[in-house]
Each structure stands twice: as structure tokens, then as C-alpha cells.
Structure 1
Amino acid sequence: MGSDVDFVAYVCEQAGLGGALSYRKMFGEYALYLDERVVALVCDNMLFVKPTTAGRALLDTVEEAPPYPGAKPHWRMDDVLDDGERLGRLLVATAAALPRPKPKGPKVARPGAPRKR
């Protein structure tokens, strides 16, 4: 079952980070981005935050679970959704602890691929 975009919008609204927090649909589910970093996933209408030491310092207890089969465990954050301020702090701390994505280089044409004219 894929996630509902209304639930994803609710999560973003609860975090109170405005336009700094965005989401993108990926394989029927959603990734949440803050400062160009994937900080969380929404799968089956559940929020999964990437585990970091900085984020762990803000939480009392965490439930670890994979967001989808074969994924590394993330923190399942059902209880944090009702506390928008705490959710926002958690996502900001998580983004700050993650490395920036590597810049994308120029596209290289594959051998045998048709050329654009």
C-alpha cells in the first residue's frame, strides 16, 4: 500500500519548517528533504526518520523498523507526529548530522546511445 499525499503534507505541516522541508514521491512512497538531504521516509502512512546521534539526543525512546523490506532500520516516529515542535527539531538535527549530497557531474553519453540534435 502506498502512502497518501495528504498524510505526507500533514507531516510537513506538523514539522513547522515551511518551504525548507519538501517531499518527493519515490517508488510509491515519499522521501522528506531538508537542506537537500533525505531526513525521513514516509512509507505506508508511517514516518521513518534516519537515525543519527544528534537526533537520538532529542528522543526518549525509539522504535527501530525498516521502512520497506530490505531497508536499513530507521526510527518509526508515530508518537512524535502530535508534537510538531519536537518533530521540527528532530528533522533539523538529523539534517545537520547528515553529509551534503555530492554534486552531480555532467551527463556522459553512453556508447551506442542515440545523440540529441
Structure 2
Amino acid sequence: MASKKETLDFVLNQIKGIENISSRKMMGEYLIYYKSKVIGGIYDDRFLVKKTNGSAILLPDATEEIPYQGGKPMLAVSDIIFDEHSDNAILIEKVFEAIYNDI
């Protein structure tokens, strides 16, 4: 099942304060880049990030999900309630930075 552009737009709107973010459509899904490195994506309308040592520490309660058949487990960021007026945006930026440094 391909992801909807609206899902990508929603996620990008929620993380709009984070610099150096870009996205790219790939085979019906969307890859999310941070400082030109793939850190996650939108898979079946789910926002997932790479599971690394740093992201696992910062998101201890995030569920692991498989992005596509044969893919490695990723962490579901959809579990985090996005609210630009809370610390979640700061947490997401820390997660992106941790993944960037781990890969």
C-alpha cells in the first residue's frame, strides 16, 4: 500500500522547525532525510525512523515496526503525539541527530 502525500505533508508540518530536513518519493513511499542522510520515512502512512542505539535510548517506549516486507525493524514515531507547543519537537530533533550520528 502506498503512502498518501497528505501523510507526508502532515509529518513535515509537525517537524517544520527542524532544519536540514528533506524528503523524496520512492516506490510509493517517502524517505525522510536529515542533513542529507536517510533517517526514516513514511511507510504505509506510518512515520518510522531507523532504529539505532541513540534512537532506541531516546524512544524507549516506541514500538518496532517493519516498514516493508524484508525490511529491518524501525521505530514508530507515530506513537509520539506531535504538538509544536510541547517538547516533542525537541525530542524528535534529538532523535534525528542521534540517528545521524549513529549511521
Asked whether the two chains share a fold, i.e. TM above 0.5, the reply is yes
Structure 1 residue 94 and structure 2 residue 71: aligned?
no
Letter in 1 for 2:100: A
Deviating beyond 2 angstroms after TM superposition, the runs of 4 or more aligned structure 1 residues are none
* Conserved? CA contact 1:2–1:28, under 8 Å: yes
Q: How does 1:24-103 map to 2 (within 5 A)?
A: 24-82=24-82, 83-98=88-103
Q: Work out the CA distance in 2 between the residues paired with 1:90 and 1:46.
A: 17
Q: Which runs of 5+ in 1 are unaligned?
A: 99-117
List per-residue Cα deviations over 1:5-32 (Å, max 9, x = no partner).
22112212212214x1000000000100
- 2:58 match: secondary structure: coil
Q: Which runs of 5+ in 2 are unaligned?
A: 83-87
How has the CA–CA distance of structure 1 residues 92 and 13 changed in structure 2, closer, same or farther, with 3 Å as cutoff? farther
Q: Work out the CA distance in 2 between the residues paired with 1:72 and 1:64.
A: 10
Q: Work out the CA distance in 2 between the residues paired with 1:88 and 1:6.
A: 22
| Structure 1 partner of 2:85 | none
List per-residue Cα deviations over 1:75-113 (Å, max 9, x = no partner).
112122413222222112211211xxxxxxxxxxxxxxx
- When normalised by structure 2's length, the TM-score is 0.83
User: Is the radius of gyration larger for structure 1 or structure 2?
Assistant: 1
Letter in 2 for 1:49: V
| Structure 2 partner of 1:103 | none
Q: Work out the CA distance in 1 between the residues paired with 2:73 and 2:55.
A: 14
- When normalised by structure 1's length, the TM-score is 0.74
Identity %: 29
